[in-house]
C-alpha cells in the first residue's frame, strides 16, 4: 500500500459544549492520509488529529513530516506496517528538543494506523494487537468522564448539572478542574462533584499546572481529606521537585505525564518526581508523544522500572486512545463526552455501562461512527478535490 496524498487543516475546538462560552482560541490539526488501496471503489483514507490541548501543528506537518512520507511512497510496505512509516518520519531527527514536533508526528501516526487497520479490515485495537503479537479477547475498558471546567457564570449549579449528566450516561468516575480559583472555592467544586458521584474515590481533580511550590503543598493538604481518585497536573510539568514534595506528604494518588512527550522525558519524570508505582497514575498522551511507537517505548521503560501497565490512563478522551487502552490492557481511558467536539467521545451509537466502554468494531479507529467528525474529515477530502 502506498501513500498518495496527505491533506491537513487546522480546526478550532472548545473545551465547552456551550458555544456561547469562549474557547480560548484552542485548535487542533486534522489530517487525511490517502492511499492507493481501493476498497468498494474508493481509496482507503486514514484520518488523524493532534489530540487536544496542544494546538494545531500544520507547519511541522506540511513542511517536514508529510514530505518525508510522500518522498518515500513505499514507506508502509506490504502488508502495511505503521512502524516502517514512523521510522521514515523520524529520519534525521536528533534526540532531545522534543518541543511539539512529537505532536505533528503523532498526528500523522494516528492516521497511518487508521489506514493500516482499514487495509486489514480490522478495528484498530485488533490491528495493534496483531502487530504486537498479543492477540486476545479484549475486556470492556474502565472509562471516566473528563470535564468539569470552570463555568463563567453559575459555576456551582452548572458543574452539578454536568456531573449529573455524566452519571445519567453511565459514568461512575469523572475529572474536574481546580487551581483556577481560591482553594475554598475549589473545595466547594470538589464537594459538589463528590455529592453527585458518591465519593472522593470516584473523582479526579486536574489543576492544569497552576500551582507554584507553596500553593501545591497547601492544596495537597487541603484536599487530602477527600481521598480523591487522583490529583493531576499539580505544578509545572518539569518541576519534579514540587511533585516529589507533594508526594512526600500526600497519601492519595497523583497523576502526571500529560506534558511529557518522549521516552527520556517520561523516564526523568518517573525517576526524579519519586513517583510511587503502587498508586500514582501515568497520563502520557499517545498522539502528543510521537504516536504509538514511542508510547510503546514509554510503556516498556516504565515496566522495566517496576510499573504495572494498569497505572497508565492515557490523556485524550477520544477513540484512538480507547482502542490503545483496550489493545494494550492499560488501566483505563478518559472520555470527553461533550467537550472538545467533534473529537471527544465514543461513536454515536456507543454507550458507557457502569463506567466501562468498548471500542467500535468498525475497520480502523471508527471515526466514521461519529457523524460530526466524519463530516469534518470528508470536508477535508472534498476541499482538496480528492
Ligand atoms: Mg490534565
Whether residue 173 is found in the same domain as residue 80: no
Q: Grid coordinates standing for 99?
A: 518541543
Active site residues: 177, 315
Taking the model in full, what pTM does it have?
0.97
Whether residue 110 is found in the same domain as residue 162: no
Distance of CA 207 from the midpoint of ligand 1 (Å): 7
- Environment class of residue 63 by beta-carbon count within 10 Å: exposed (0-12), middle (13-18) or buried (19+)? exposed
Whether residue 332 is found in the same domain as residue 248: yes
Tell me if 103 sits within 8 A of 280, measured CB to CB.
Answer: no
Whether residue 344 is found in the same domain as residue 208: yes
Whether residue 235 is found in the same domain as residue 343: yes
Distance of CA 206 from the midpoint of ligand 1 (Å): 5
Mean pLDDT, consecutive 10-residue segments, the chain of 386 residues? 96 87 88 96 96 93 97 93 97 92 98 98 98 90 97 96 98 98 97 97 98 98 98 98 98 98 98 97 98 98 98 97 98 95 94 98 97 96 77
The number of distinct structural domains making up the chain is 2
Sign of the C-alpha dihedral, residues 373, 378, 384, 386?
A: positive
DSSP letters, 112-172, are: HHHHHHHHHT-BHHHHHHHHHT---PPPPEEEEEE--PPPSSSHHHHHHHHHHHHHHTT-S
Does residue 129 belong to any structural domain of this protein?
A: no
Phi, psi of 255 (to 5 degrees): -125, 130
Report the alpha-carbon distance of residue 164 to residue 161 in Å, rounded: 5
Whether residue 38 is found in the same domain as residue 89: yes
DSSP state of 94: P
Range of the domain at 197: 141-365
Does residue 127 belong to any structural domain of this protein?
A: no
- Residue 10 β-bridge partners: 29
- Residue 84 CB neighbours (<10 A): 15
Tell me if 112 sits within 8 A of 46, measured CB to CB.
Answer: yes
Q: Please state the separation of Cα 193 from the chain's center in Å.
A: 23
Q: Grid coordinates standing for 57?
A: 501543528
Does residue 69 belong to any structural domain of this protein?
A: yes
Whether residue 157 is found in the same domain as residue 288: yes
Residue of 90, 214, 201, 95 lying closest to 144 (CA atoms): 201
Whether residue 115 is found in the same domain as residue 165: no
Report the alpha-carbon distance of residue 59 to residue 63 in Å, rounded: 6
Whether residue 265 is found in the same domain as residue 341: yes
Q: What is the CATH number of the domain that holds 40?
A: 3.30.390.10
Residue 57's pLDDT is: 96
Does residue 150 belong to any structural domain of this protein?
A: yes
Does residue 136 belong to any structural domain of this protein?
A: no
Distance of CA 83 from the midpoint of ligand 1 (Å): 28
Residue 102's pLDDT is: 98
Distance of CA 287 from the midpoint of ligand 1 (Å): 15
Residue 385's pLDDT is: 67
DSSP state of 62: I
Does residue 128 belong to any structural domain of this protein?
A: no
Whether residue 374 is found in the same domain as residue 361: no
Q: Grid coordinates standing for 298?
A: 514509554
Q: What is the CATH number of the domain that holds 224?
A: 3.20.20.120
Does residue 98 belong to any structural domain of this protein?
A: yes
Report the alpha-carbon distance of residue 116 to residue 348 in Å, rounded: 23
Distance of CA 304 from the midpoint of ligand 1 (Å): 25
Does residue 131 belong to any structural domain of this protein?
A: no
Phi, psi of 31 (to 5 degrees): -135, 155
Block residue for cell numbers 509545572: 236
Angle made by CA atoms 101, 103, 109, in degrees to the nearest 5: 110
Whether residue 65 is found in the same domain as residue 159: no
Whether residue 337 is found in the same domain as residue 212: yes
Amino acid at each position: 500500500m502506498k501513500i498518495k496524498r496527505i491533506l491537513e487543516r487546522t480546526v478550532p475546538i472548545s473545551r465547552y459544549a456551550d458555544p456561547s462560552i469562549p474557547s480560548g482560541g484552542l485548535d487542533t490539526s486534522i489530517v487525511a492520509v490517502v492511499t492507493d488501496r481501493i476498497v468498494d471503489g474508493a481509496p482507503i483514507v486514514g484520518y488523524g488529529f493532534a489530540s487536544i490541548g496542544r494546538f494545531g501543528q500544520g507547519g511541522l506537518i506540511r513542511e517536514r513530516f508529510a514530505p518525508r512520507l510522500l518522498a518515500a511512497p513505499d514507506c508502509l510496505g506490504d502488508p502495511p506496517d505503521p512502524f516502517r512509516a514512523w521510522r521514515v518520519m523520524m529520519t534525521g531527527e536528533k534526540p532531545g528538543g522534543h518541543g511539539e514536533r512529537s505532536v505533528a508526528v503523532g498526528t500523522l501516526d494516528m492516521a497511518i494506523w487508521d489506514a493500516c487497520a482499514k487495509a486489514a479490515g480490522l478495528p484498530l485495537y485488533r490491528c495493534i494487537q496483531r502487530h504486537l503479537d498479543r492477540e486476545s479477547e479484549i475486556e470492556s475498558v474502565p472509562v471516566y468522564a473528563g470535564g468539569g471546567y470552570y463555568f463563567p457564570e453559575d459555576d456551582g449549579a452548572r458543574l452539578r448539572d454536568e456531573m449529573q449528566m455524566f452519571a445519567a450516561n453511565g459514568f461512575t468516575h469523572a475529572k474536574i478542574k481546580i487551581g483556577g480559583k481560591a482553594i475554598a472555592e475549589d473545595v466547594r467544586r470538589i464537594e459538589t462533584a463528590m455529592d453527585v458521584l458518591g465519593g472522593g474515590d470516584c473523582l479526579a481533580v486536574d489543576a492544569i499546572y497552576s500551582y507554584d511550590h507553596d500553593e501545591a503543598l497547601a492544596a495537597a493538604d487541603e484536599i487530602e481529606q477527600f481521598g480523591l481518585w487522583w490529583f493531576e497536573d499539580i505544578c509545572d510539568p518539569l518541576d519534579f521537585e514540587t511533585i516529589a514534595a507533594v508526594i512526600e506528604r500526600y497519601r492519595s494518588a497523583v497523576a502526571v505525564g500529560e506534558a511529557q512527550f518522549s521516552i527520556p522525558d517520561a523516564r526523568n519524570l518517573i525517576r526524579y518526581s519519586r513517583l510511587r508505582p503502587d498508586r500514582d497514575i501515568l497520563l502520557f498522551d499517545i498522539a502528543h508523544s510521537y504516536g504509538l511507537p514511542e508510547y510503546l517505548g514509554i510503556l516498556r521503560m516504565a515496566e522495566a522500572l517496576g510499573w504495572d501497565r494498569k497505572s497508565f490512563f492515557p490523556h485524550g478522551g477520544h477513540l484512538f486512545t480507547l482502542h490503545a487502552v483496550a489493545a494494550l490492557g492499560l488501566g483505563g481511558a478518559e472520555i470527553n463526552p461533550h467537550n472538545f467536539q467533534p473529537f471527544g467521545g465514543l461513536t454515536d451509537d456507543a454507550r458507557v455501562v457502569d463506567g466501562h466502554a468498548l471500542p467500535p468494531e468498525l475497520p480502523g479507529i471508527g471515526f466514521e461512527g461519529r457523524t460530526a467528525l466524519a463530516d469534518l474529515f470528508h470536508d477535508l477530502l472534498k476541499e482538496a478535490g480528492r
